[in-house]
């Protein structure tokens, strides 16, 4: 079901993209031959008026086929009648062709302005710590942060001179500085200190990517059936104080010590309703290779609902922030400041979308907005084959009053196709690596 939900959500974004091309082409008087969701063999086909509407077997994109789209300069309009030529894409002015091509990615960029306000009106849940000062609850052993000298209890004050008011601001600042040397000012019991970290991995996932985690008490929030914790009598709300005599100060300590047990029986000292009790249990080996006892942490969340005007304001601000972060990522990717391992393909998109679909309406709309922005910006890149490449060609024609030569376009399109294929191969490789080889 997760995969199906993800494919449906991806289909919605493809539909919005192609609808942009379709609507502007119709307004410009261009004849639409086909409107397809997906590629490959037809699954569903219906003709209304002069347009064939399709759903095809490979749900990784779509297309709008217009009369004369191949380019009249190559003689492809030669057999059209005068009436048909008037409705040919290639017969339209450069400005109209430019508008038709740009409409797809612009629709993807506009969509979040419409759906994120709905998310804020429905109500957005987020961890309670995100609006709190960025004080470190746990430093992952062996991480970049641990190697740089961070300690649990450090409170982040500045990053490269920028003030950090809370976790949200710290994460945004970290992403904006991805690829740069990171100079943190922190507050400790002994006073102020500076911690310098060379960011080789881009830190695109925020503070967690470098090993800094918020305070997360070892309080049980959920239990999995038929697992050791449930069988031993552990209950939601229990706070785990010790594991076989080792003190537990955070959820992350618990995870680390369970892995160190290597399946041996352990005793949990638990605080429940003001009393302490000891529960023996034996961790179970999961197919992933990790030792589990079958519990989830208690997540303290805050749910906020906004009125109509406030929701549109918050939605617009969030959309602009996501566009900004995506542009930062693209810029740093091309300058080599972040690793190409951060590129995700259709498999990752479907997985993320599908997981959001299992949560709530707000999560679905937020993920749709984020992926829609990425799809829009990707298609605006000036790479031949993509919409951005065609925009580049038509801009050239608009400025120089003549189209780029056929030979030049062919060469650039071949280069663009090669780049796109390499990007797709890399994205699929990263997707598969995350599934089969991630630790």
Average pLDDT for residues 78-94, to the nearest whole number? 84
Tokens of 8: 């449906």
Would you say residue 233 has pLDDT above 60? yes
Residue given tokens 């949200």 in the structure block: 168
pLDDT for the residue numbered 73: 47
Measured in whole angstroms, the distance separating CA 206 from the mean position of its chain's CA atoms is 13
pLDDT of residue 286: 81
Q: What is the mean pLDDT of residues 282-289?
A: 83
Query: Kind and range of the H or E element at 30?
Result: none
Average pLDDT over residues 329-351: 68
- Determine contact, residues 206/175, Cβ cutoff 8 Å: yes
Active site residue 18: yes
Does the pLDDT value for residue 434 go beyond 50?
yes
Higher pLDDT, 294 or 130: 294
Distance CA 293, CA 222 (A): 11
**Reported pTM:** 0.72
β pairing state of 301-304 and 32-48: unpaired
Provide the pLDDT confidence category of residue 32 given band limits of 50, 70 and 90: very high
If one counts every other C-beta atom within 10 angstroms of the C-beta of residue 154, the result is 22
Q: How many residues does the chain have?
A: 439
If we measure between CA atoms, which residue out of 93, 171, 158 comes closest to residue 127? 171
pLDDT digits (tens, 9 = 90+) for 164-205: 988 888 888 887 777 778 899 999 887 888 998 875 554 556
Asked whether residue 269 carries a pLDDT value surpassing 70, the answer given is yes
Residue 103's pLDDT is 96
Most confident of 161-175, 266-280, 353-367: 266-280
Residue 436 main-chain phi, psi, to 5 deg: -100, -25
Confidence grade of residue 270 (pLDDT, cut at 50, 70, 90): very high
Q: What is the predicted pLDDT for the residue at 341?
A: 67
| Pair type for strands 162-163 and 239-243 | unpaired
Strand order in the sheet with 191-198: 162-163, 155-159, 181-188, 191-198
Residue 24 has pLDDT above 80, yes or no: yes
pLDDT at 96 over 90: yes
Mean pLDDT of the chain: 84
Q: For 262-401, where are the alpha helices, taking DSSP H only?
A: 308-334, 346-357, 361-380, 387-400
Listed in sequence order, the residues at least 6 apart from 263 whose beta carbon sits closer than 8 Å to its beta carbon are 282, 283, 284, 285, 291
Question: In this predicted structure, which of 40-44, 179-183, 380-384 has the lowest mean pLDDT?
Answer: 179-183
**Residue 267 β-bridge partners:** 280
Which one has a higher pLDDT value, 413 or 78?
413
**Tokens 């289909």, located at residue:** 11
Q: What is the CA radius of gyration of the chain?
A: 27
Lowest mean pLDDT, pick from 209-218, 259-268, 327-336, 394-403: 327-336
What pLDDT score does 150 carry?
92
pLDDT at 310 over 70: yes
71 — pLDDT class (breaks 50, 70, 90): low
pLDDT score of 356: 61
Q: Place 106 in a pLDDT band, splitting at 50, 70 and 90.
A: very high
| pLDDT, average across residues 42-49 | 92
Categorize the per-residue pLDDT at 75 as very low, low, confident or very high, splitting at 50, 70 and 90. Answer: very low
Which residue is listed with tokens 């030669």? 78
Lowest mean pLDDT among 9-23, 184-198, 226-240, 325-339: 325-339
Cα 32 → chain centroid: 33
Q: What was the pLDDT predicted at 74?
A: 44
For residue 346, what pLDDT is reported? 62
**What average pLDDT does this structure show over 397-416?**
87
The reported pLDDT for the residue numbered 78 is 55
How do residues 117-172 score in pLDDT, each as one tens digit? 999 998 887 777 777 888 998 888 888 888 889 988 899 999 998 999 888 888 88
């Amino acid at each position: 079901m997760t995969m199906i939900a993800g494919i449906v959500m991806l289909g919605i974004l493809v539909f919005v993209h192609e609808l942009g091309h379709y609507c502007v082409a119709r307004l410009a008087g261009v004849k639409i031959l086909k409107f397809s969701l997906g590629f490959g063999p037809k699954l569903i086909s219906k003709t209304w008026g002069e347009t064939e509407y399709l759903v095809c077997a490979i749900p990784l994109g779509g297309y709008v086929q217009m009369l004369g789209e191949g380019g009249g300069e190559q003689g492809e309009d030669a057999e059209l009648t005068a009436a048909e030529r008037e409705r040919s894409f290639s017969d339209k002015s450069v400005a109209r062709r430019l508008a038709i091509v740009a409409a797809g990615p612009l629709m993807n960029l506009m969509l979040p302005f419409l759906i994120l306000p709905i998310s804020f009106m429905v109500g957005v849940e987020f961890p309670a710590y995100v609006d709190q000062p960025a004080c470190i609850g746990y430093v992952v052993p062996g991480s970049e942060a641990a190697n740089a000298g961070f300690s649990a209890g450090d409170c982040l004050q500045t990053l490269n001179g920028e003030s950090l008011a809370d976790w949200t601001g710290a994460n945004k600042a970290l992403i904006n500085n991805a690829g740069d040397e990171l100079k943190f000012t922190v507050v400790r019991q002994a006073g102020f200190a500076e911690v310098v970290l060379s960011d080789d991995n881009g830190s695109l996932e925020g503070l967690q990517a470098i090993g800094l985690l918020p305070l997360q008490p070892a309080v049980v929030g959920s239990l999995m059936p038929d697992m050791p914790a449930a069988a031993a009598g552990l209950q939601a709300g229990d706070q785990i104080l010790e594991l076989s005599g080792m003190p537990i100060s955070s959820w992350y300590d618990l995870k680390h010590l369970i892995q160190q047990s290597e399946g041996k029986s352990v005793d949990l000292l638990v605080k429940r309703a003001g009393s302490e009790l000891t529960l023996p249990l034996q961790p179970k080996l999961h197919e992933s290779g990790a030792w589990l006892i079958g519990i989830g942490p208690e997540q303290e969340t805050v749910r906020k609902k906004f009125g109509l005007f406030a929701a549109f304001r918050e939605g617009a601000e969030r959309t602009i922030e996501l566009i900004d972060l995506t542009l930062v990522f693209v810029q740093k990717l091309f300058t080599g400041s972040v690793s190409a391992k951060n590129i995700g393909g259709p498999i990752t998109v479907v997985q993320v979308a599908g997981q959001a679909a299992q949560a709530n309406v707000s999560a679905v709309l937020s993920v749709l907005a984020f992926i829609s922005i990425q799809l829009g910006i990707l298609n605006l890149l000036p790479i031949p084959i993509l919409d951005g490449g065609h925009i580049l060609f038509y801009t050239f024609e608009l400025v120089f009053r003549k189209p780029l030569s056929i030979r030049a376009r062919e060469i650039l399109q071949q280069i663009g196709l090669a780049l796109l294929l390499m990007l797709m191969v890399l994205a699929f490789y990263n997707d598969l690596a995350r599934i089969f080889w991630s630790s």
